[in-house]
Chain A
Amino acid sequence: KQEVTQIPAALSVPEGENLVLNCSFTDSAIYNLQWFRQDPGKGLTSLLLIQSSQREQTSGRLNASLDKSSGRSTLYIAASQPGDSATYLCAVTGNTGKLIFGQGTTLQVKP
């Protein structure tokens, strides 16, 4: 059974810092991996989608990497801003396209 783990559960950093969020999964037979952002009381916003054949994806200040063989992904956020404060969720896609989520990392960026 696929399990997804995110470390750390919570993170607080001063504005301007670069930071890394970690995601690991137990079964390397995934189709893709998505990183999402969730603001309090809101739905999920997709940030980056990495196909299983890819190693990384970039969007603005965000860079996500994927090492399928070791079951790990990282989300790198450069020059963090207070507006980046949210919960970040990692999810892998199984064989019907359903997403299996980690518990999330709650990020607070202090001005």
Chain B
Amino acid sequence: GAGVSQSPSNKVTEKGKDVELRCDPISGHTALYWYRQSLGQGLEFLIYFQGNSAPDKSGLPSDRFSAERTGGSVSTLTIQRTQQEDSAVYLCASSYAQGLGYEQYFGPGTRLTVT
């Protein structure tokens, strides 16, 4: 079946603009995770959804970052007033359920460049 998809694959934006990144999880997966991969920081957790609710937003770096999930499926990560330090690859993952024993499947990522 189809894997996790993300769009766009690449995004170049000017500093100060808002961007939206989209994630389509594997059908039937209730848990969805956003991660960020940047040079020097490695892979960092941002936010986690179980269904449409986000029990853990602890990784969001500032209040410029927000995310939502609708219909228990598609998720959108929004970055307002982008800064150069936001440049990174944003990865989305989904799993059948939260927590114990469930493997996470990753999408190809969105490469964000803020100029």
Contacts and interface: CB of A to CB of B under 8 A. Distances in A.
Contacts of B56: 96, 98
Interface in B93-107: 93, 95, 98-107
Contact of B91 (A31, A34, A44, A51): A44
B55 interface: yes
A34 B43 CA distance: 14
Given A49-B103, A51-B100, A96-B56, 4 more contacts: A93-B99, A97-B33, A98-B45, A99-B45
A24 B37 CA distance: 20
Interface string B69-113: 000000000000000000000010101001111111111110000
Interface in B35-82: 35, 42-45, 48, 55-56, 59
B95 A101 contact: no
7 contacts: A36-B106, A42-B108, A42-B109, A44-B91, A96-B48, A97-B33, A103-B42
Nearest to A101: B43
Interface of A: 31-32, 34, 36, 42-46, 49, 51, 89, 91, 93, 95-104
B21 interface: no
A110 B55 CA distance: 45
Closest 10 CB pairs of A and B: A101-B43, A44-B106, A97-B99, A43-B108, A98-B45, A96-B56, A43-B106, A97-B98, A103-B42, A49-B103
B26 interface: no
B48 A97 contact: yes
A96 B55 contact: yes
B45 A100 contact: yes
A31 B101 contact: yes
Given A43-B107, A43-B108, A96 B43 contact: no
Given A96-B55, A97-B33, A98-B33, A43 B91 contact: yes
